[in-house]
Structure 1
Amino acid sequence: MSSAKRQPLKAGKENQNVPVETAEQRIENLEAIVTLQAATINNFQGMNEQLVRLLNEYQKTIHEHQETIC
């Protein structure tokens, strides 16, 4: 990242004074954020699937023990 202070991008002609490299850096940073968010979502989905499997196994075990008791 550049140490130069960035000005927010605005619609219209105001964008013309934003340096190209700053806009490119912003795009790269946003792409990195999106990539990290996608990885986080993927990780949460995997954790969720694992939790569902564990819950199903736990419920099956409880059901088997209830049948044994009754």
Structure 2
Amino acid sequence: MDKLRLLLLEDSDAEANKLIAFLEANDYEIIRVKNIFDAEKEIRKRYFDVVILDIIINGKPDGIEFAKK
């Protein structure tokens, strides 16, 4: 079976590293971005099976706004 492709939008390196370690150990392919602009660019380029969004990015509720799109 192919790996599931996951988009991770997380601006904190410490949090992202924990999630990435866990997800890679469970056979996910992870594309990590730190902001909404890069997330939108990645979604236009490829298909994702799962998207994990940080709700508050740089002090703003950007993850919520992105999910609404």
Q: Name the TM-score, length of structure 1 as normaliser.
A: 0.24
Return the structure number with greater relative CO, CA threshold 8 A, min gap 6.
2
Which structure has greater helix proportion? 1
Which structure has greater strand proportion? 2
Q: Which has the larger radius of gyration?
A: 1
Q: Name the TM-score, length of structure 2 as normaliser.
A: 0.24
